[in-house]
Structure 1
Amino acid sequence: MSAVSTWRNIRGTDAEASARSPRRRISARRRVGSLLAGAAALVVFFFSVFPVYWMVNTSFQPNGQVRGSELHLWPDNGTLENYASIILGQSRAPFVPALLNSLQIALITVIVALVFAFLAALAVTRFRFRARGSFIATILIVQMIPAEAMIISTFRLIDGWQLLNTIIGLSAVYIATVLPFTIWTLRGFVNGVPVELEEAAMIDGLSRSQAFWRITFPLLAPGLVATGVFGFIQAWNEFVFALVLNPRPEAMTLPVWLRTFLDPNGGTNWAELMAGSTLVAVPVVIFFLIVQGRMTSGLVSGAVKG
């Protein structure tokens, strides 16, 4: 009996070892895959962050050092003269009016576009009407048209309304440009909130409007924030329409203001240009950090249909 028991134990040990061997190989493969994925993520992160770092690093260097042949990976001779020159200098268009123009136009665009897009998304999602399919198809078609293809017609329209070099005129163009994207995005968020939630609230005694504002709207708030961030960035960074419709120094936005640093004769002050680019990026970063939490939850909720 002892020999039989010993043989059974040996066979059981071999079976356990053979069963553990595939598991170890799978675990090793997973570790290797995790390491490769982490290395790839680091490479992508480096290539994404390095241009931003180089912009900020150059903004703190003297222009003579930037145009020299020696490479400086950090601002060893750091100075704030570039920032002081572009904020307080009088040699080019002033920075503060351009900043205020960009802020006003971006905020007006986001607020108005979200209001109209939210109502349109509710109408398309919650109601059934005859032209519903045509409306959705029109949104997709409008998104496919390049904005640059409508510059001439847009310029003549805004000029006919005498809104050139005004905040209202450029904001109206940005609203029309952003609306198709915001409607299509908010439609996904609204569609992800079950209508049964409102019906259950109405059974409990709430009116339709009360059920919407107390139950549905809080669930849609992250989606509104996420969509608003994309609309803000699009309005903040737009250059072509701003250059054509608001070319005057007192009406230009920050992307057009950055163009004043470029000298066609080759005398561009790259240090000041990088400082101006850093200042242009700061409001977007601050805005993103403020709404980051709700934006993340909005992106997740928009990806999952409830």
Structure 2
Amino acid sequence: MRRSLFGRTWLNVIAAVLAVFFVFPVYWMFATAFKQDSDIISPTPVFVPLNATFEHFTTAVNAPKFWTYVTNSFVVTIAAVLMSLVIATLAAFAIARMKFRGRKAFVLVVMMSQMAPWEVMTIAVYIISRDNDMLNSLVPLTFFYMMMVLPFTIWTLRSFIAAVPKELEESAMVDGCSRTQAFVKVIFPLLAPGLMSTSLFGFITAWNEFPLVLILNKDDGQTLPLWLSSFKTAFGNDWGATMAASTMFAIPVLILFVFLQRKAVGGLTDGAVKG
């Protein structure tokens, strides 16, 4: 009993230490965004901004083309996530419910594409966009982001669909539903945890993506990650404004995670053990 309690105590201590190491940089970013300039450059670290200021946020928001980049980021991210959900849901249903030639090969290709590092494809992506006169456009960026999150979405939703008993679908069809109606009324409502977990993964992936937008887009076609990387150069050593910009960049992901965390974590766990 003592040994078991001792083991749990050490596990809790290790977990607490790791949490501090992971959480402290985030806290320091948020705290620095509200500090006075004198507190930021003070030789003695100021851990709590008692004299908080919103001046750095004003500087970041008033930066040239800030709202253009915000709009671009939301447009390409939301569009990529929605497109991947639609395509992945149909593909996952086909894999889980239908028998067709090349089914196993298709599943293998999906898994391999998930393992491939997308950074090695940047040159090919650039050539495709250039030859089709689509550089500095949000359209290729949206499609490539969609393809980045599509394999994971297909694989996760396939597990959820496979976990739904076929008898439920067959009963709906016996009662007069077509196969499409049975999917919409029976299977689709049960996919909510999987849709939420894959949406969160897709949003984070597309929202934080940097190499592709660095190569494909300039000026008005940039997104927030690229703007954030040049923020320090544009404002010199204004660390307060830089941390304020970083804070605003992180807020949408944090809000989405807080809103979806229970369903998303449950969805990832269920998708890993079902099917």
Alignment TM-score, normalising by the size of structure 2: 0.92
What runs of 5+ residues in structure 2 fail to find an aligned partner?
none
Deviation readout 1:54-90 (Å, 9 max, x if unpaired)? 000111123453234221111133211100111124x
Report the equivalent of 1:20: none
Report the equivalent of 1:4: none
> Which residue identity is paired with 2:50?
D
**Cα distance in structure 1, aligned partners of 2:190 and 2:205:** 25
The one of 68, 71, 89 equivalent to 1:97 is 68
> Which residue identity is paired with 1:125?
A
Report the equivalent of 1:296: 265
**Cα distance in structure 1, aligned partners of 2:153 and 2:207:** 16
Report the equivalent of 1:279: 248
Please say if 1:263 is aligned against 2:263: no
**Cα distance in structure 1, aligned partners of 2:226 and 2:112:** 29
Please say if 1:46 is aligned against 2:20: yes
Deviation at 1:37, TM superposition (A): 2.4
Deviation readout 1:88-124 (Å, 9 max, x if unpaired)? 24xxx33211111101110000000111111111111
What runs of 5+ residues in structure 1 fail to find an aligned partner?
1-25
**Cα distance in structure 2, aligned partners of 1:207 and 1:271:** 59
Please say if 1:62 is aligned against 2:36: yes
Q: Secondary structure at the match of 1:38?
A: helix
The one of 183, 206, 222 equivalent to 1:252 is 222
Report the equivalent of 2:120: 149
Deviation at 1:205, TM superposition (A): 4.5
Report the equivalent of 1:211: 182
Q: Is the 8 A contact 1:83 1:275 kept in 2?
A: yes
**Cα distance in structure 2, aligned partners of 1:62 and 1:165:** 38
Q: Is the 8 A contact 2:57 2:245 kept in 1?
A: yes
Deviation at 1:213, TM superposition (A): 1.8
Please say if 1:121 is aligned against 2:95: no
The one of 53, 56, 61 equivalent to 1:82 is 56
Q: Secondary structure at the match of 1:263?
A: helix
Deviates more, 1:129-138 or 1:193-202: 193-202
Report the equivalent of 2:145: 174
Deviation at 1:237, TM superposition (A): 0.3
Deviation at 1:167, TM superposition (A): 1.7
What RMSD, in angstroms, separates the aligned Cα atoms of the two structures? 2.0
Deviation readout 1:30-65 (Å, 9 max, x if unpaired)? 322332222222122211211110000111123453
Q: Is the 8 A contact 1:163 1:169 kept in 2?
A: yes
Matches within 5 A, 1:126-145: 126-145=97-116
Deviation readout 1:161-193 (Å, 9 max, x if unpaired)? 222222212101111222122222222222222
Please say if 1:239 is aligned against 2:210: yes
> Which residue identity is paired with 1:262?
K
> Which residue identity is paired with 1:258?
L
**Cα distance in structure 2, aligned partners of 1:135 and 1:123:** 11
**Cα distance in structure 2, aligned partners of 1:211 and 1:53:** 48
Q: Secondary structure at the match of 1:77?
A: coil
Report the equivalent of 2:3: 29
**Cα distance in structure 2, aligned partners of 1:304 and 1:259:** 39
Q: Is the 8 A contact 1:63 1:271 kept in 2?
A: yes
Q: Is the 8 A contact 1:261 1:269 kept in 2?
A: no
Matches within 5 A, 1:10-25: none
**Cα distance in structure 2, aligned partners of 1:237 and 1:32:** 40
> Which residue identity is paired with 1:67?
I
Report the equivalent of 2:196: 225
For these two proteins, the number of residue pairs brought into alignment is: 275
> Which residue identity is paired with 1:35?
T
**Cα distance in structure 2, aligned partners of 1:128 and 1:226:** 27
Q: Secondary structure at the match of 2:147?
A: helix
Q: Percent identity?
A: 42
Q: Is the 8 A contact 2:35 2:52 kept in 1?
A: yes
Alignment TM-score, normalising by the size of structure 1: 0.83
From the CA coordinates, give the structure whose radius of gyration is larger. Answer: 1
**Cα distance in structure 2, aligned partners of 1:226 and 1:29:** 37
> Which residue identity is paired with 2:249?
V
> Which residue identity is paired with 2:226?
V
Deviation at 1:204, TM superposition (A): 4.4
